[in-house]
Amino acid sequence: MLKTKLFEMLDLKKEDMLRDRRWLHRYPELSYEEEKTSKYILQHYAGKDVKVESDIGGYGVKVTIDSGKPGKTLALRADFDALPLEEQTGLPFASENPGVMHACGHDAHTAYMMALADCLIELKDELVGKIVIIHQPAEEMPPGGALMMIQDGVLEGVDNVIGCHVMSQMDCGNICYHAGPTQLARAKFTIRVQGKGGHGSSPHEANDSIVIASQLVVNLQTIISRRLDPFEPGVLTIGSFDGKGQFNIIKDSVELIGDVRCLSDQTKQLIESEIRNICHGFEIAYSCKIDLDYKNDYPVLVNDEKITRFVVDAIESADIKGINRVLDYGPLPSSEDFAYYTEIVPSCFFFVGAKPQGESYPHHHPKFDIDEDSMIYAAKAMAAVVYKYMEEQK
């Protein structure tokens, strides 16, 4: 049986997963700079009986496993960029690139996917249709590697895309999912408040941009508390207030940088409209000039109901050793550029528990780490989906 062969082969590749993950962790690269990572992936596939395309959407790699038999095309996606953090884990394979760290698990995604791809290449005579492996760069930074790979045609002929993410604060051995809207859309905005500078002793001759910007920060929060339906998720954060100056000088201008998250297009439009309205009102009320630069980037990640049910059934019926629970975890507040795939073809993005022994740290933390057993669980969960996908076509 194909499923049994896949699982047995993956068990034999656990050491390969560890080796690859630790190499990638030691040499992380930021979004849009993943040249060596991409070369490492390409070297992995060199000489194998498979079609490999490079430089898709930047440093992306597309691997097509063609069975030579008619059937649908299933894409499996794994990202491989890192974050601008100084690692503090003390791991023996900690980052050797100053100020750059795999603090989100993308090294693990790439390692398990390369091992799974190897197995599928060896077994391709037992497959039908095609399997496309999407090794994607730049998930962490807009406009996002997913969008760029799509623009370069990575989804041409693809019927469905499946992805998963290891999660450092979900119990290792759990598979978590949600159907429908699953991860939040995101926007970034910059507001420049232009007042009039002056001497601290004569505020009446100036127009204090710090006072205006402070009131603006407070008023922007009323969008969430007073304009948004209480049953509709939404977050507005001012992450930067650049108003540094001198104790006796009234600031001429202040810059605010903020972040918006929401779970529906309607809420996304409402929040943007309200931010624009408040900024315009402040210009009138405070006789100042406000410039707003508002950019929507990642959309809501919407898991297709039918494909998600298919994925859950595949994993549950596979009876994978070490996977204890498959549960609906509900939506997550983070954002993910896998959402772009879900806008084009019916897709599913699920989560693999990777909580390490001892203290666990959240994603994007300098002490982030995972239980490396999560890689074999991710690989087998994906293999179970591939098996069921093949069997239904046969």
Q: What is the pLDDT of residue 1?
A: 80
Q: Which of 347, 390, 393 is nearest to 124 (CA)?
A: 390
- DSSP assignment of 153-195: TTTTT--EEEEEEEETTS-TTEEEE-SEEEE-EEEEEEEEEE-
Which pair of tokens denotes residue 322? 């070490």
Closest listed residue to residue 189, CA positions, set 240, 139, 141, 245:
240
Q: Which pLDDT score is estimated for 394?
A: 82
Nearest CA-CA partner of 117 in 18, 27, 17, 38:
17
d(CA 371, CA 170): 11
Candidate list 81, 140, 371, 372, residue with the active-site label: 81
What domains are there in the chain, each with its CATH number? 2-182+300-393 (3.40.630.10), 185-296 (3.30.70.360)
Angle formed by the axes of helices 106-122 and 35-45, nearest 10°: 20
For residue 81, indicate whether it is catalytic. yes
Whether residue 214 contacts residue 331, with contact meaning beta carbons closer than 8 Å, is answered with no
Name the 3-class secondary structure at 288: coil
Instruction: Give the C-alpha separation, 235 to 13, whole Å.
Output: 42
CA–CA separation, 166 vs 103, rounded Å?
11
Grouped pLDDT means (10 residues each) for the chain, 394 residues: 93 98 98 98 97 98 97 98 98 98 98 98 97 98 97 98 98 98 98 97 97 98 96 97 96 98 96 98 98 97 98 97 97 97 98 96 98 98 98 90
For residue 230 the two structure tokens come to 């209480």
d(CA 106, CA 311): 21
What is the phi/psi pair of residue 203, to 5°?
-60, -25
Rounded CA-CA distance 3/38 in Å is 29
Q: What pLDDT, on a 0 to 100 scale, did the predictor assign at position 390?
A: 96
Q: Residue 98 half-sphere exposure, CB side, CA atoms within 13 Å? A: 0
Is the backbone peptide bond immediately before 143 cis, with ω within 30 degrees of 0?
yes
Q: At what angle do helices 106-122 and 14-26 cross, to 10 degrees?
A: 140
- The partner residues of 240 in beta bridges, in order of sequence, read 257
Name the catalytic one among 118, 139, 304, 369.
139
- Tokens 């989906």 belong to 385
CA 14 → CA 8, 41, 76, distances in Å? 11, 17, 19
